[in-house]
A and B are shown apart, each in its own frame.
Chain A
Amino acid sequence: MHRRRTSHTEPTARTSSRTSRRTPSSPEPHRPDAPAIEAIGLRKSFGPVRVLTGVDLQVERGEVFSLLGPNGAGKTTTVRILATLTAPDGGLARVAGRDVVAERAAVRRVISLTGQFAAVDEKQTAEENLRMMARLSGLSRPAARRRAAELLERFDLTAAARRRAQTYSGGMRRRLDLAAGLVGEPEVIFLDEPTTGLDPRSRAGLWEVVRELSAAGSTVFLTTQYLEEADRLADRIALVDGGRLIAQGSADELKARVSGHRLDLVAAGPEAYLRIVSRVGPEAGRPWRPWRRPEGAAQAGPVPAHEPWQPRQLRHSPDSLTLALPTDGGADEVRALLDRADPERCDVVRFSVERATLDDVFLALTGREAAPHQETAHV
């Protein structure tokens, strides 16, 4: 697993970027000790639709924080509240120590937002878009020109700088969009589903940018629908569903709760199915609850004979004779699970190891299918 927490280990990069940062013109003292983002009990409804029902979160400076959730979970709404674009109905939110409602202008000076929908002018060139944004974020004309050139270079758009954005591919447009969000060297960067719709290469490029931003000391708050993305990028992840956070923690912590993989088993027949279910856990059939290995059991190795932990099934469908067990996907653990589920080697006819999906995480944490599938139909 390839993760970096560069922000905490590269003080030099951090300092150099601080010095180049704009000084807020507000006379109030800068509040360097406040967390980058804190929210307490955020609530928001649109008419009868209760979109957020009490969101609490805290993001430290320099952290990459990911809000992970299905369509309609309230990710965009949360981001828009934190970016001062919409007022919460209740609760409190501060960004860089400033209240997002009462000190909106001060918050706006330190943030940038790259929304879910492209925010560049199709009929302007990349250069014009960036220079315009640079001017609006307070740079003088020559400084805006330089900043635009810098960003074009960094986002690999120099060759296309004088072409209208309408001629760009999806990936180029997204890069331009992101570049436009960075003109003012923001301290806190909001990215709403930055990689949705990108091919794997563009996605990897964007991840690289996020890591660089974090390494340079910026706080990045990003939303995503992809578990893998949060996993690769984020120092901490919050799962949001139905307008509240259902889990929060580092990727490792969450994975300890939901496992990185699942082992899908196909039983030989209905009786074999029942036997497997009875073996893999006393709570088989009940909604799967987070489980943990006890301290010391984390090292890879065969499952102890009297294992103090019980895998419970993640998902079971008697009709198709399949059930799924959470696993880290390691060969040892898969072998041990297979042995446990089917010691006589006659009940399981087939198995496969799959990467845990967002659905699995949701199923695990809420006991029901993640909501997105009803929603996506009418998006």
Chain B
Amino acid sequence: MSDALGSDALGPIGRTVTMTGRRIRISARDIDAVITSLLLPLMLMAVFIYLFGGAIDTGTAYVTYVVPGVLVLCAAFGGSTTAIGVTEDMKGGIIDRFRSLGVGGTSILAGHVVASTLRNLLSTALVLGAALLIGFRPDASPAGWLAAAGLLTAFVVTISWLSTAVGLLARTPEAASGFSFFMVFLPYPSSAFVPIDTMPGWLHGFAEHQPVTPMIESLRGLLLAEPVGNEPWVALAWCAGILTVSVAASAALFRVRSR
């Protein structure tokens, strides 16, 4: 095997790329999960627009109001399913084999996160396409689109790392999928579906300051070309904070779990 290069031929990047390819193949073949991650946001969008939309007064066409929230929900749900894949990996013998080949936790987990990010940007784009079909009319400049895409990417990466940490903590895939539930409900007490001032007073504090709200407000502002104030910075600060904690927790948990 004369063209076999040394075992260092694949650097950390190459290893992460290989691990990403692996996760993309595996998740693309989990047909149930693929369908759920597209269908759930689409159905929620339809339910809110056609069933509740008429009764909700947001000052604009409801579809215009709700789509940014649906995009965030889609990204949050899709990102959270990363936990299940991580838990499944940790249960089997494959991690030991990867480690015995010199592939460390960083490459393995980064593979999960990168694959999850690509997968969810794609599904978010599909949901956005559907929204355009049913009457969502954004008004963003190219810079606005770029900023929105950047924010959404940061959000997906953050949720994916958080989800990775949860996946390392959970002992069974069933437990890990509980996290998806949590992530699907997190956007409800925010400005995703109804304006916060229509909520009971005791909820205002949480709804205004929870991490999903600045993300939704920024997307809404950027896509509709309205002033966003410092909301994008608040959103990014949340992402940076959660990301730091999640990556550190993932590293520590991986070490403990694969000991």
Q: Which residues of A contact B (CB under 8 A)?
A: 20, 22-25, 80, 83-86, 105, 108-109, 111-121, 123-124, 128, 132-133, 135-140, 142-143, 146-147, 164, 180-181, 184-185
Contacts and interface: CB of A to CB of B under 8 A. Distances in A.
Interface residue SS majority, chain B: helix
A121 B101 contact: no
A331 B156 CA distance: 75
Contacts of B29: 123, 164
Interface string B1-21: 101111111100011001001
B1 A143 contact: yes
A119 B15 contact: no
A104 to B, nearest CB: 9
Given A85-B99, A132-B22, A123 B30 contact: yes
Contacts of A136: 10, 15, 18, 98, 101-103
Contact of B10 (A80, A83, A123, A135): A135
Contacts of A22: 4, 6-7
Contact of B94 (A86, A111, A119): A119
A180 B97 contact: yes
B26 A140 contact: no
Contacts of A146: 1
Interface of B: 1, 3-10, 14-15, 18, 21-22, 25-26, 29-30, 92-94, 96-103, 258-259
A119 B4 contact: no
Contacts of B259: 86
A139 B101 CA distance: 12
Nearest to B100: A113
Contact of A124 (B9, B10, B22, B99): B22
Contacts of A86: 259
B79 to A, nearest CB: 20
B1 A120 contact: no
B26 A143 contact: no
A117 B93 contact: yes
Q: Which of B7, B18, B93, B258 has the most CB of A within 10 A?
A: B7
A1 B100 CA distance: 35
Contacts of A142: 3
Nearest to A136: B101
Contacts of B22: 121, 124, 132
